[in-house]
Amino acid sequence: MIELLYEPWPWYLAGPIIGIMVPLLFYIGNKAFGISSSFSHICAACDPAGVEFFKYDWRTGMWNLVFVVGIAIGGYLGGWIFMNPDPIAISDQTTQSLMNLGITDFSGLVPSELFNWNVLGSPTGLIVLVIGGFLVGFGTRYAGGCTSGHAISGLSNLQIASFIAVIGFFIGGLIMTYILLPLIL
């Protein structure tokens, strides 16, 4: 049983557990499962330029901020305390494709050559970490949700809007994967 805390979980176990987050948050306090709103609440709490979009009481989103702090603590437990020492068992084709792009370190959750403080001085590192992050934050608010809010919460509730958004996620994702990423890395 204790091994389960260290080992990676198979998709057929992890998927249903993630799905449980939807009714769990409704049950705790009538909250729709979503993460990216936390970025908005942080903007609303600071709002240096007095932007209309962020003129609401950010405390209404306090639950979401507490939730993401919890996610970071969960990450600490799952990825530090109970760290899986083995590399991620991705498929051979993916490993080969990524080696062709110049990725060499497959030992962690993310490739260390792209995710460390030193790469911030390089164009590649800046593009991945800064532009990547910017696009995630800009795109998710523009689309009105991210993977949790649209793909999981929205599709669970059979929302056409979320279906369109998820198609968008894949349009962007495939353009990046097949066209832009080979130019960036």
Partner 1 sequence: MKLSDYILYLLSGVFFGFVLVKSEVVSWFRIQEMFRFDDIHMYGIIGLAILVGMISIQIIKKTNAKDKDGNPITIPPKDPSQVKRYLIGGSLFGLGWALLGACPGPLFALLGTGISVMIIPILAAILGTYTYGFIRDYLPH
Among 121, 143, 182, 183, binds partner 1 (CB under 8 A): 143
CB atoms within 10 A of CB 140: 23
Angle at 116 between CA 65 and CA 135, to 5 degrees: 50
Give me 180's structure tokens. Answer: 């832009």
Q: Tokens 């499962």 sit at which residue?
A: 33
Nearest residue to 103 (alpha-carbon basis) of 173, 175, 174, 184: 184
Q: Say whether residue 99 binds partner 1 (CB under 8 A).
A: no
Q: What residues from 166 to 185 belong to the interface with partner 1 (CB under 8 A)?
A: 166-177, 180-181, 184
Q: Say whether residue 97 binds partner 1 (CB under 8 A).
A: yes
Sign of CA dihedral 162, 167, 170, 171: negative
Number of residues in contact with partner 1 under rule CB under 8 A: 127
Q: What residues from 59 to 88 belong to the interface with partner 1 (CB under 8 A)?
A: 62-64, 66-80, 83-84, 88
Q: Say whether residue 165 binds partner 1 (CB under 8 A).
A: yes
Tell the smallest beta-carbon distance from residue 57 to partner 1 (Å).
13
Site string for partner 1, 4-23 (x = CB under 8 A): ---xxx-xxxxxxxxxxxxx
Q: Say whether residue 113 binds partner 1 (CB under 8 A).
A: no
Q: Say whether residue 123 binds partner 1 (CB under 8 A).
A: no
Q: What residues from 25 to 64 belong to the interface with partner 1 (CB under 8 A)?
A: 25-33, 35-36, 38-40, 42-43, 49, 51-54, 62-64
The Cα 107–Cα 115 span in angstroms is 13
Q: Say whether residue 164 binds partner 1 (CB under 8 A).
A: yes
**DSSP string covering 47-79:** -TT--GGG-S-GGGGHHHHHHHHHHHHHHHIII
Tell the smallest beta-carbon distance from residue 1 to partner 1 (Å).
14
Nearest residue (CB) to partner 1, 2 versus 52: 52
Q: Tokens 């959750």 sit at which residue?
A: 109
